[in-house]
Chains A and B, each alone.
Chain A
Amino acid sequence: MVRPYTDYQPIMYAINVIVLNTTQSKTKYEVVIGLEVHAQLKTKTKIFCGCPVDFGADPNTNVCPVCLGMPGVLPVLNKQVVAYAVKTGLALGCKISKHCKFDRKQYFYPDLPKNYQISQYDQPICTSGQLEVNGKVIGIERIHMEEDAGKLVHAGSDRLHGSDYSLVDYNRTGTPLLEIVSKPDLRSAEEAKDYAQTLRSILRYLEVCDGNLEEGSMRCDVNVSLMPVGSKTFGTRCEIKNVNSFKSLARAIETETERQSEILDSGGKIIQETRLFEETSGKTISMRSKEEAHDYRYFPEPDLVPLEISQSWINEIKETIPELPHDKKIRYPKDYSLSIDDTKVLTDDRNMAEYYEAVVRLGANPKKAANWLIGPVTAHLKEHKTDIINCCMTPVQLADLLGFIEKGIINDNIAKAEILEELLSKGTNSEEIIKEKGLAQITDEGEIKSLVKEALETNPEQLKQLKEGKDKVKGFFVGQIMKKSGGKASPAVVNKLIDEYIK
């Protein structure tokens, strides 16, 4: 069940509410998209009380009189929430407000026990930032702090059987949220998706939010409108909710664009409304919310004093911001001679990026380390549904393995087939595995020479061709010899000896 009426639509900010344009190849309209992202903050406790934020808990076990909205209680602001908001604002190049306050947003809904949500209306904590997405700068209108609502549960088939009640769990009530509102600068479904993914990556780098769309720790509301190509005036927008994945985000925008252009093409008018994205049909459907539902009657929250954020606190928070993906994307090709694509894959996730940097710091060849992490390591992690910090292989172990290859002690294939798996799942070390399994490369020429001789002499037809200069046959012989050696012969030595033999 999705909560209606919770979108941020203050009258004063009508303009920022999102909606932008994009070029649709097949139509005469430009689509204008803006995103409102709700990010659940990874604090230990709720925004205004000491109840733990814990999503796996039994219903109504992480609640207290404050988050249940009992009469006479007072909210007290969680300092960490402010710090995370400032951290996020700084990372997105925002202006941090020196002075701000909280406001009450009133609406009635059973998941909101106080009948108002504490949010920030006309004095958000951060304003006017930007995020670069594929070389284009997307404006950030504002970031503000607010509290999440509870969860409504419609037990199983209740709805189908016309049950006349719902169940409410208030554990989530009061979970701190950041609402990050983009300017209507996005012009295509793809661009909107890239923006959301880039934002998610940053939130995860900052360790302020898990960024999990499926589980709802990051939620996107999308504003979509169309205008004739070349126009400067935005059309009427619709807000789409219930987008639970990046794929759905793109799909919702595409189908909403189609819906709106069909209406406009047939001479109709777009009605401003909130629509729900339906995963199964891939369509958006009207929520038919009543007009006055958007009359939130904001006023300053009398139970909370204003917030003044000092420059020294801002500076302190600035120190905690790690190198962000955007900076790494500039640095990697320069420092490590990596391609843009490889850089993108390595820097999307902070743990992967830091792991990579550690391996390189330990002396591994940067290109080689990147190939291994992007290739066989990632394949293993995906297959075992784990990630780089939860697997057993430490950066030291990977650097060692690459070192053994570099020194010619083992070859790539052996390392991949015989060692990597063990490092990743058991965390033993390469040297032991090499010794135990007898994997060390044979570089002794005498030993290899006999293998070469044997292979060449037992295949007289191919040998004839080789002598005639058919280089392709050489690969056949190398393969034969490698097989005979159990993959342990040094390919370089094998090649050299074949050349010598036929000379």
Chain B
Amino acid sequence: MLSKQQVEHVAKLARLSLTEDEVELYTKQLSKILDYIDQLNEVNTKGIEPMTQPIPTVNVMREDIVKKQFDRSEVLRNAPYEEYGFFRVPKIGE
């Protein structure tokens, strides 16, 4: 069972602000999800190598060759704010 503190911690890490009710609700829902996932622990995995990728491929690499980059006006087109060719962002808190 997940604690309320854990949910608050995760929310904080994800920069989400939750109401009391939401914390309550998500604590229950996330706990259920985790319980469901926990069923996997019942599978006997003795002797099976851990896998981090379902695709049976390794070593996808490219050569160190420059590809044409994008035009800056295009790059900045999606930026809400720009200045002197830079992306403009809110000041970073101390």
Contacts and interface: CB of A to CB of B under 8 A. Distances in A.
Interface of A: 1, 43-45, 49-52, 58-65, 68, 76-82, 101, 106, 108-110, 152-153, 155, 163-170, 288, 292, 295, 297, 300, 302, 304-308
A49 B67 contact: yes
A167 B76 contact: no
A186 B61 CA distance: 37
Contacts of A79: 61-64
Given A77-B61, A78-B62, A51 B88 contact: no
B1 interface: no
Contacts of B88: 165-168
Given A43-B64, A295-B13, A305-B58, A165 B70 contact: no
B83 A51 contact: no
Q: Name the prevailing secondary structure of the B interface residues.
A: loop
A305 B85 contact: no
B18 to A, nearest CB: 15
8 closest Cβ contacts across the A-B interface?
A: A50-B67, A167-B86, A80-B64, A300-B52, A79-B61, A110-B89, A168-B87, A59-B85
Interface in B52-94: 52-53, 55, 57-67, 69-70, 72, 75-76, 81, 83-92, 94
Given A61-B69, A292-B12, 19 more contacts: A44-B65, A45-B65, A51-B66, A51-B69, A59-B85, A60-B87, A63-B69, A65-B70, A76-B60, A77-B60, A80-B63, A101-B52, A152-B92, A155-B84, A165-B81, A166-B89, A166-B90, A168-B87, A307-B58
A164 B52 contact: no
B13 to A, nearest CB: 6
A300 B61 contact: no
B76 to A, nearest CB: 7
A50 B65 CA distance: 6
A384 to B, nearest CB: 33
B15 A165 contact: no
B62 A50 contact: yes
A61 B91 contact: no
B60 A305 contact: yes
Contacts of A305: 53, 55, 57-60
B84 A59 contact: yes
Given A45-B67, A77-B61, A80-B64, A165 B89 contact: yes
Most buried by A among B57, B60, B69: B69
B67 to A, nearest CB: 3
Given A50-B67, A60-B72, A60-B85, A164 B60 contact: no
B50 to A, nearest CB: 10
Contacts of B59: 305, 307-308
Contacts of A152: 92
Given A44-B64, A77-B62, A165-B81, A62 B91 contact: no
B32 interface: no
A62 B90 contact: no
A168 B61 CA distance: 29
Interface in B4-47: 9, 12-13, 15
A11 B15 CA distance: 22
13 contacts: A45-B67, A50-B67, A52-B69, A59-B84, A63-B70, A76-B61, A164-B91, A165-B81, A165-B88, A166-B88, A167-B88, A168-B89, A305-B55
Given A77-B61, A77-B62, A163-B91, A63 B81 contact: no
Given A166-B91, A306-B53, A60 B67 contact: no
A197 B79 CA distance: 42
Contacts of B13: 106, 292, 295, 297
B83 A167 contact: yes
A430 to B, nearest CB: 42
Most buried by B among A78, A155, A165: A165
B67 A62 contact: no
B66 A68 contact: no
Given A61-B72, A79-B61, A101-B52, A44 B66 contact: yes
Contacts of B94: 288
A164 B90 contact: yes
Contact of A165 (B9, B53, B90): B90
Most buried by A among B52, B53, B81: B52
B40 to A, nearest CB: 16
B62 A76 contact: yes
Given A292-B9, A292-B13, A305-B55, A59 B66 contact: no
Contacts of B90: 164-166
A305 B90 CA distance: 35
Most buried by B among A43, A50, A170: A50
A45 B65 CA distance: 6
